[in-house]
Structure 1
Amino acid sequence: MTIGQATERVAIVTGGSGGIGGAVARRLAADGMTVVVHYAGSAARAQEVVESITATGGIAIALRGDVADAAEMEQLFDTVQERFGGVDVVVNTAGIMLLAPVAEMDLDAFDRMQRVNVRGTFVVSQQAARRLRPGGALINFSTSITRLQAPAYAAYAATKGAVEAMTLILAREMRGRDVTVNAVAPGPTATPLFLDGKSAEQVDRLAAAPPLERLGTPEDIAESVAFLAGPGRWVNGQVVFTNGGIG
């Protein structure tokens, strides 16, 4: 099938060049979806995800954009509409995590997280709310830290608390559209974003915390997304904690 032909289902994965985003893109492609791998600055990594999908017979393209820029996201959705005929699944994995105790948090860092994690999720969710076809799904990303209340995570958790609020309200606003809106809240997951700056001792301690006694993998998280994007049609307006039972 060539680009431009109609396909059964089309998915946009923001942050698709990242660890979890890439796993989500590959997993949705394995379910037969055409996947748009969105990226902000990692063109080479996004292309690697695309190539890993096309190598197994899937259809994928990479598109760049700033998730917090309304014009750029509108253009991205327009491009997807023109090339594939519509959008059925939107997954918002794009996000940044900057850690510090409240007393020490740099407010510029706080504002950067608010822009990407809150405004970015809102901008993409707004496009999804306008464009998702019946039977579609929007999956945003929160974090299990909203339950665990770990020190140094206050600013990050605050952005994800906002994501949960907008997700749950949007699910109710989509009444009558046959579109589900949910959030996935991963626990400690072995991605570069999570592992950066942590000692081996810290990683081992976090890995031992869940009853399953290991860190999550990006593929673990992608399975929850695939369920919500596909067969999980009766799950709506929920935050799905995908964390091995840590809390």
Structure 2
Amino acid sequence: MMTARSVSGKVALIAGGAKNLGRLLSTGFAEDGARAVVIHHHNAETKDAAAETAELVRAAGAEALVVDGDLTRPGNVTALFERGIEEFGGIDIAVNTVGRVLRKPIAETTEDEYDLMFDINAKSAFFFIKEAGLKLNDNGSIITVVTSLLAAFTDGYSTYAGGKAPVEHFCRAAAKELAPRGISVSNVAPGPMDTPFFYGQETPERVAFHKSQAMGNQLTQIDDIAPIIKFLATDGWWITGQTLFANGGYTTR
């Protein structure tokens, strides 16, 4: 019989771990007793943020490794996991917060925009789950951040929600395939989060509308999502192959 899992002494890898939700997870796992955290960031623009997050992780008592790379290239995903294993001997928890949002009518969306959105939101997620499945220690956890728009009937987000939609199928298949090793695979679907990731696509009027759809007339806070992700990696390990809509009532299905 398996017992409840703990972060203590484990190694966590956070894709997009340099800032916003990724930073909160990186530091949170360290504060909860993780032995080490692998902090992924995309490129030179996020280098300083990743270095700051690493210092916060070390200040919380864990080791930290910063790895950069464009995860739409599968070779970079492989290298990310291999670097973590080389440095710390293994990885127990893999969380993917990477995503890109675009709000644009279908009629105005270019082929390049379509390819970019699906590369970031679907392709990189697929190969992250693949590498995590190959590289994680037994009884580990794989968690992907998707979006509550998967349950929305709305305009403008065809390539964002569409790019995230396949991740539900990747999750279910991986959950079945990795179950014999005790690895749980799940998704968390936040509502619109109160981070810079959200505001660039919206007008003040639409921000007000999004707020009005959830409890407390507010956007989703990263402080509300991080504990759910940590729960899935610990006491909630029995939840697998599922998407948790964590959004204050913004959408459901």
**Same fold? TM cut 0.5:** yes
Which of 185, 190, 200 does residue 204 from structure 2 map onto?
A: 200
Q: Partner letter of residue 200 of structure 1? A: P
What's the counterpart of residue 35 of structure 1? 37
Matched, 1:72 2:76: yes
- Structure 1's consecutive aligned runs of 4 or more residues displaced over 4 angstroms after TM superposition are none
Q: Partner letter of residue 14 of structure 1? A: A
Which of 103, 112, 125 does residue 116 from structure 2 map onto?
A: 112
Whether the aligned pair in 2 keeps the contact of 1:25 and 1:35 (CA below 8 Å) is yes
Q: Partner letter of residue 30 of structure 2? A: A
Which of 164, 180, 201 does residue 176 from structure 1 map onto?
A: 180
What's the counterpart of residue 136 of structure 2? 132
What's the counterpart of residue 4 of structure 2? none
Q: CA-to-partner distance for each residue in 1:62-86, whole Å, 9 max, x for gaps?
A: 1111212222222221111111010
What's the counterpart of residue 16 of structure 1? 17
In the TM superposition, what are the counterparts of 1:76-155 in structure 2 within 5 Å? 76-155=80-159
Q: Distance in 1 between matches of 2:201 and 2:41?
A: 23
Q: Partner letter of residue 99 of structure 1? A: R
**Runs of 5+ consecutive residues of structure 1 not aligned to the other structure:** 1-6
Aligned residues: 241
Q: Distance in 2 between matches of 1:157 and 1:232?
A: 26
Q: Distance in 1 between matches of 2:185 and 2:103?
A: 28
Q: Distance in 2 between matches of 1:243 and 1:51?
A: 31
Q: CA-to-partner distance for each residue in 1:140-176, whole Å, 9 max, x for gaps?
A: 1211001112210111111111111111111011121
Q: CA-to-partner distance for each residue in 1:80-100, whole Å, 9 max, x for gaps?
A: 111101010100111111220
**Runs of 5+ consecutive residues of structure 2 not aligned to the other structure:** 1-7
Q: CA-to-partner distance for each residue in 1:171-220, whole Å, 9 max, x for gaps?
A: 01112110000001010110111111423332222112113321111121
Matched, 1:46 2:50: yes
Q: Distance in 1 between matches of 2:170 and 2:75?
A: 21
Q: Distance in 1 between matches of 2:229 and 2:30?
A: 12
TM-score scaled by length of structure 2: 0.91
Q: Distance in 1 between matches of 2:201 and 2:81?
A: 35
TM-score scaled by length of structure 1: 0.93
Whether the aligned pair in 2 keeps the contact of 1:187 and 1:246 (CA below 8 Å) is yes
Whether the aligned pair in 1 keeps the contact of 2:103 and 2:201 (CA below 8 Å) is no
Matched, 1:56 2:57: no
Shift of residue 106, structure 1, vs aligned partner: 1.8
Q: Distance in 2 between matches of 1:96 and 1:79?
A: 25
Q: Distance in 2 between matches of 1:226 and 1:64?
A: 23
Q: Which is worse superposed, 180-189 or 7-16?
A: 7-16
Q: Which is worse superposed, 83-92 or 52-61?
A: 52-61
User: Could you tell me the percent identity over the aligned residues?
Assistant: 33
CA RMSD of aligned residues (A): 1.4
Shift of residue 101, structure 1, vs aligned partner: 1.1
What's the counterpart of residue 195 of structure 2? 191
Shift of residue 59, structure 1, vs aligned partner: 2.3
